[in-house]
Structure 1
Amino acid sequence: MLPVAFLLVPAAYFSLWPVPIEPVAWHAPKAPGYAGVHAPNNKLLGLHNISLDGEAGPEYVALGPDGLLYTGVASGRILRMKQDGSGRQVFSTTGGRPLGMAFDEGGGLVVADAIKGLLSIAKDGEVTVLADAVEGDPIRFAEGAVVARNGKIFFTDASTRFAPAQWGGTTEAATLDVFEQSCTGRVLEYDRAAKAARVVAKGLCFANGIALSGDDETLFVSESGRYRVWKIAVAAQGLDVAHQSAQARVLLDNLPGYPDNLTRGLGGRIWLGLGGQRNDLDLMAEWPSMRRVALRIPRIFWALPKPYGHVIAFTEDGKVVADLQDPTGHSPLTTGATETVDRLYIHNADAKSLGWIAQ
């Protein structure tokens, strides 16, 4: 009887142990691999690195109107430094996890904080919470933010199911959301005059990076869990992207990695970071029960793809005009890129330095 018991215990564990997701079946398109405009290259090799002196995870980098770089790190601090990395100081501390950032016309810093919500940080570093709920519903996972010329702030709430504050941080919450595929991410607008937020669009599977078109009429939104980038009208009201609408369309589809931060670059182009290669999750797309089993396996046994640095730039009509890769396996998790006249700074979620390459 003892050998039978040894077999039954793990069988029961892998089939019955509770997991926090209610996975949804979906059809994952066949991964395109690295071909065409994404043909393999080494253009992201040889990054110069700016040490962060013990801090880690410059997940987003913003260039301020003062010419300084601003980046949020895992400790909850926002660092400020010259473009060569010198003069680094702690500008502010949010007490959460600062992710996407943007500056308003007055020079104030707007921050999407995964724990705290949408924040405004004055020039002296004082933090004010602009919004931690929308229409009475908590903002659980603020991700990206952008400020329009009229002062309105557009930002993403990656998941209404899994909040980093409740699930051990951004990585675990994002993993659960993408595994579940319930697509509860949304795009929000905050009106400072009305001091209220509204839902622009919903139904996104992990809404991530966000950027505005040159005329401020359209939002570009990366949907990490479905490997695509959307164009969504800023005028949309509670639009569900699961239903066809003239106000939303997919601009970039079936990308070779998980699309992350979006930033405006030079010459009208938009930079996008691909935070990791696609993996066996695609094979489980139509098998929710397999995803439940996978979550019961200790993470140390997961077969993860090797790190693959990858950032691209595209135009507002969806033409890819730059593709930079590091296929060596030594790249940090490339979540985006910030472009200046002579440098391209590479965002990353876990490195202990800020990388850049010369333009």
Structure 2
Amino acid sequence: MAKSRSGNVHRRGPSKSGSSAQKITEESESPSRSKSSPQKIKKESESHKVSTLCQKLAFALALLVVTFAICLTFAHVNSPIAAVSVNDIHDVRQLKWTNVENNNLAHGRKLLNELPGPESIVVDEEGNWYTGLIDGRVVKIIKAGKEEQVVVDITASYDFAIGSKRKGKRPLGIRLSKSTLYFVDGYQGLFSIDIKTNQWKKIVGYDEVEPHMMFPDDLTISSNGKTIYFTDVSEKWDYDNVTFSIIEGECSGRIFKCDVQSKRIDLIYSGLCFPNGIELDRSENNLLVSENARRRVIVIDLESRNIVKTIKLPGGPDNIRRARNNGYWVAIPTPHHPTTDFIWAYPALRNIIASILGREGLFQLVDLNQGIIVKLTETFEPESIHYDVDGKVSKAITEASELDNGEILLGSFIQSGIVLLDGKSL
């Protein structure tokens, strides 16, 4: 502030130099602002692009999840099966008696490789073998394993499916009573052939019981030849859809009793879980029955018709046959697989799996690459277990039939040929 000559005080305004300095400062700052703005805009643009991309990815993922959920729902709703909850399959790891290392079944000798799927085998008094095949034949093998071996188709002269609404033929369980050969066909029912005259009879057709038999499987005959007991795997699923029956977990299998002379049929037991193999004990007071879908053999008292014992096994059992001296041989074609055990608790998951894979795809999931047989005692306790670990000689074994000389014949429902094994080494 300065005084004028007149004594008045005058306020000075900003000097030009100060104004210029301020202007210079503002101008000097201005280029910096102009330089940062494009960078900021660029960053904001990139951030916007990333945000947009994330939004698109999130939308695509959500769409994928929704589509996947819709597909699973569709598969579940349109599944060919109606899976039920299964809570009675045991943990195989609890069966300590199965933890043995052997490869006993790999030492057998395979014969008759030209015979596809000889599931069950029986031998007559002259040493001839009989078996049923995948192609529908029942054959007689004369002098098996020798140079003069001959295979005769004993069903060549007739068609036991003639007149039936079902055209398929698959002979499964087979037995011999004196000169009469009995066999169960998986489509048609129960039949007999006189091995001396080659005359055949239909004992029980699939449609002669109600509900009709869907999958007849195995049989056993009383020592006097008057009574036959046979199994029907399911009231719902037939032979061609066997995998659906197992994964569904349904239990509609039955056991029938047939009087050979009168042809009268009685229902012995129902509500079984895939009952295939069957055998009378030596007293003929009890039936041993395989429940393949529950990895067990049950013992049914014929008088009370109650289950009196359950034998837990390391896989799904098939045919049961008496051992030469004491006990019983049980074949296990489908061993336990730990990676699939968890699915039994989830019916919806099994519905989806069945819908996606179909029956053929499900079949590919089954482990059929080992050979396993189990020996039970006369009191139905596990005595021993024998393996062909890699299935090099025998696999998917459906029957172990012991001969009078101690040799054992091993049959399979998928493998060609019959394995001859020295039973004395087991």
TM-score using structure 2 length: 0.74
- The DSSP-based 3-state class of the residue aligned with 2:105 is coil
Determine the C-alpha separation between the residues in 1 that align with 2:331 and 2:99: 13
Determine what percentage of the aligned residue pairs are the same residue.
Answer: 23
Question: How much has 1:111 moved relative to structure 2?
Answer: 0.8
Cα deviation 1:14-35 (Å, max 9, x = unaligned) = 3313222111102122122774
Q: Deviations over 1:32-73 (max 9, x none)?
A: 2774255231111133111242x3101111122332111101
Letter in 1 for 2:127: G
Is the alpha carbon distance of 1:145 and 1:108 closer, same or farther for their aligned partners in structure 2, counting shifts above 3 Å?
Answer: same
Which stretch shows the higher mean deviation, 295-304 or 73-82?
295-304
1:108-123 alignment, distance < 5 Å: 108-123=180-195
Is 1:23 matched up with 2:83? yes
Shift of 1:194: 2.4
**Which has the larger share of strand?**
1
Q: Which residue of the partner structure matches residue 307 of structure 1?
A: 369
C-alpha distance in 2 between matches for 1:3 and 1:248: 54
Q: Is the 8 A contact 2:129 2:144 kept in 1?
A: no
What is the SS of the residue equivalent to 1:260? coil
SS of alignment partner, residue 137 of structure 1? coil
Q: Per the alignment, in what secondary structure is the counterpart of residue 66 of structure 1?
A: coil
Q: Choose from 115, 123, 137 the match for 1:63.
A: 123
The yes-or-no answer on 1:161 pairing with 2:220 is no
Partner-residue secondary structure (3-state), 2:139: strand
Output the CA distance in 2 between the equivalents of 1:306 and 1:129: 33
More helix by share: 2
What is the aligned partner in structure 2 of residue 207 from structure 1? 275
2:150 alignment partner, SS class: coil
Partner Cα separation in structure 2 for residue 293 and residue 224 of structure 1: 22
1:334 aligned partner, one-letter code:
I
Query: Residue 135 of structure 1: CA displacement?
Result: 4.4
After the TM superposition, which residues 43-192 of structure 1 pair with which residues of structure 2 at under 5 Å, given as runs? 43-53=104-114, 55-82=115-142, 84-85=144-145, 86-92=149-155, 94-95=160-161, 96-105=169-178, 107-123=179-195, 124-132=197-205, 133=207, 135-150=209-224, 151-164=226-239, 169=240, 173-192=241-260
The letter of the residue matching 2:229 is: F
Alpha-carbon separation, structure 1, partners of 2:175 and 2:188 = 16
| CA shift digits 1:297-332 (9 cap, x unpaired) | 335596544612101111231233332101124442
Measured at CA, do residues 203 and 273 of structure 1 come closer, stay the same or move farther in structure 2, by a change above 3 Å?
same
Contact 1:142 1:158 survives alignment (8 Å): yes
2: CA distance, partners of 1:251 / 1:114: 26
Cα deviations by residue, 1:163-185 (Å, 9 ceiling, x for unpaired)? 12xxxx2xxx2211111122001
| Bigger mean CA deviation after superposition, 258-267 or 291-300 | 291-300
Tell whether the 8 Å contact from 2:333 to 2:395 is kept in structure 1 after alignment. no
Q: Which aligned pairs between 1:241-256 and structure 2 lie closer than 5 A?
A: 247-253=306-312, 255-256=313-314
Match of 2:345 in 1: 286
Counterparts in 2 of 1:224 and 1:300: CA distance versus 1, 3 Å: closer
Among candidates 277, 296, 309, match of residue 228 of structure 1: 296
- Alignment partner, residue 244 of structure 1: none
Q: Alpha-carbon deviations, 1:95-124, whole Å to 9, x = none?
A: 51111111124x111111110111112223
Following superposition, which runs of at least 4 residues in structure 1 exceed 4 angstroms of deviation?
1-11, 299-304
- Cα distance in 2 for residues equivalent to 1:78 and 1:2: 59
- SS at the partner of 2:345? coil
**What is the one-letter code of the residue matched to 2:373?**
V
Residue 339 (structure 1) aligned with residue 413 (structure 2): no
> What is the distance in 1 between the residues matched to 2:292 and 2:104?
23
Gaps of 5+ in 2: 1-58, 162-168
Distance 1:250 1:13 in 2: 44
**Aligned residue for 1:262?**
320
Scaled by the length of structure 1, what TM-score is found? 0.87
Aligned residues of 1:284 and 1:290 also touching (Cα < 8 A): yes
Aligned AA for 2:192?
Answer: S
2:375 match: secondary structure? strand
SS of 1:201's partner is: strand
CA distance in 1, matches of 2:198, 2:132: 13
Q: Judging changes above 3 Å, is the alpha-carbon distance between structure 1 residues 47 and 8 closer, same or farther for their aligned structure 2 residues?
A: farther
- Matched residues, number: 340
